[in-house]
Structure 1
């Protein structure tokens, strides 16, 4: 089986770092007597972890695939498992009923899976289920919505909500300055304000804009759905006859955001540009269209679920990552919220998802 491109790329990057470190070390110790015991490579923890190894049964539990991003999380997990000949993948039916998800996790625990991936509908509510698995000797990878206690998982992997807002704010601020827009009107269509992730995204956005001397002029919160995205954006547009830039937190609700912009006749890219959030194929298609108001989207990619399966496999085989010196996989992995524009959209279409 060919090596996972993620690992290949990271091995290349680390290799360059190791070479540089080696040169520095030899310069500092050039008068020392060579010691054959010091010729071991720096990174040897994971070995050749792309080669098939001991069979691993991975259990997977996630919420209902009731919107594009969540559906992509589930599909990505299955697709990643399918590329490994040494992985048996057991996925439960997605549910937004917390009690039902707890019961599903307990079923996976009782079936004797080797590793468990849990993307909880509610991190706090599923903490006890994660703890139960860990107590049973089953390592847990907690995806995105974090448990209340680190004792409930072996590894957490997810996105960086604060930096998502920061990167959106920096892109908008830098573009407005480059275009010489004075006293710009900047709008924000957030998700659900009661959620910490929405609060973190908004705080990052505000902090980044402040560095450029700007603030959010008009703001509404939606519910991560097309319907609320459209209705709340319609209200926002009525309240703000001029908008120079708009950041929408979520590309799924962004379909409704764009519908409201079209209905209001505000779909002129010379008067307004929109930055999305998450990285859907739909928004990437708009980004490639010079007649569209969509200028960019900030990733919060469901590819994190693909990586979760890769990490679960390594956990089950007691391997580390081949390009890290440690013999175990990390305790946490935060994905990066890259800004996708017309200049680089072709590089990111492989991690896009259908809204």
Structure 2
């Protein structure tokens, strides 16, 4: 989330309202009540405020997307002169992450930004932080209870699947393909996020009279992506379109595709890695698009944490406070718009 102030619209609206009020009174018309939303904006978010110490905890950076989450958080904090950033060492061990958050609580940081390895398992320690007067920004993997966080920011997994389906349906129609064979390479099936992505994809296709003909599930790694894509390609003599949930596992998926010499279908990725965007821009690959699940949400989480402590709202919104939840949008990146999104592509 950019810290650049954009108050002109709200200021202009307020000035216009004041002028209209004055004109109405001079004309002996009934007074017009000023629109209260025009005076309730959060102010200049870019202006330095009270010094804030932000504690940050996330899982180990064991693949590109997760590494980008931590990198983005750190970069955002370093760009804010009134923020001190205190990050724990990333760990995917739930008990270790709990212990690290407890340390940050004991150090009495002003606010916590937590991307939990497991939302359910980290709920209790986040609730303890909240009860100790430390607001919590919950990133992506949601805690089990809303009283464990002040604000949640994360991606739209269901919407990601819907947008992938809509793009695939439109492209198949453009190509004049009837009765297509559509495949899905999911992430880890036991995770709610994978289930939501698959549900969105299935429902999106159904709206177009289409369905998933072949489905395999990988584990968000290049190795599992290559293994499962190999199985898929061996089982399906022909495919028209493939949606791969994750661009990190997509590295392995593409290795399997190239090894098999298959190019009769087009592939839509997921998350928005720079590698996939480069392939989309260059053309000549089965990769035609990727649906964003952008790690820039972690940059925004740091910005939100700062505003919470400084008791500010968001300058482009009328509310005095930071909203309760923010869901990012899963834009579809294609060759036509890829230049617009290259700056948020992450390294796989």
Range of TM-score over shorter length: over 0.9
Deviation at 1:48, TM superposition (A): 1.0
* One of 321, 325, 328 as aligned partner of 1:335: 328
- Return the alpha-carbon distance in structure 2 between the equivalents of residues 261 and 152 of structure 1: 44
CA contact (8 A) 1:72 1:302 kept: yes
Deviation at 1:290, TM superposition (A): 1.9
How does 1:272-351 map onto structure 2 within 5 Å? 272-351=265-344
Deviation at 1:5, TM superposition (A): 4.0
Residue aligning to 2:128 = 132
TM-score, length of structure 1 as denominator length: 0.91
Secondary structure in structure 1 of the residue aligned to 2:38: coil
Deviation at 1:53, TM superposition (A): 0.7
Residue aligning to 1:156 = 152
CA distance 1:262–1:310, shift in 2 (3 Å): same
Deviation at 1:43, TM superposition (A): 4.6
CA distance 1:182–1:38, shift in 2 (3 Å): closer
- Return the alpha-carbon distance in structure 2 between the equivalents of residues 154 and 40 of structure 1: 25
- Return the alpha-carbon distance in structure 1 between the equivalents of residues 127 and 216 of structure 2: 37
How does 1:140-219 map onto structure 2 within 5 Å? 140-219=136-215
Residue aligning to 2:105 = 109
CA distance 1:180–1:31, shift in 2 (3 Å): farther
CA distance 1:190–1:44, shift in 2 (3 Å): same
Residue aligning to 1:51 = 47
Per-residue CA distance 1:100-123 (angstroms, 9 max, x = gap) = 100000000010100100100000
TM-score, length of structure 2 as denominator length: 0.93
- Return the alpha-carbon distance in structure 1 between the equivalents of residues 57 and 266 of structure 2: 38
Residue aligning to 1:98 = 94
Residue aligning to 1:42 = 38
Deviation at 1:194, TM superposition (A): 1.1
Structure 1: gaps spanning 5 or more residues:
none
CA contact (8 A) 2:218 2:228 kept: yes
- Return the alpha-carbon distance in structure 1 between the equivalents of residues 4 and 326 of structure 2: 14
CA contact (8 A) 2:158 2:199 kept: yes
* One of 208, 219, 225 as aligned partner of 2:221: 225
- Return the alpha-carbon distance in structure 2 between the equivalents of residues 18 and 169 of structure 1: 40
CA distance 1:286–1:31, shift in 2 (3 Å): farther
Deviation at 1:44, TM superposition (A): 3.1
CA distance 1:33–1:210, shift in 2 (3 Å): same
- Return the alpha-carbon distance in structure 1 between the equivalents of residues 143 and 45 of structure 2: 28
CA contact (8 A) 2:273 2:347 kept: yes
Deviation at 1:316, TM superposition (A): 1.0
Per-residue CA distance 1:262-293 (angstroms, 9 max, x = gap) = 00000x3xx21100000000000110122111
Per-residue CA distance 1:210-262 (angstroms, 9 max, x = gap) = 11111001000000011110010000001111011100000000000000000
CA contact (8 A) 1:7 1:323 kept: no
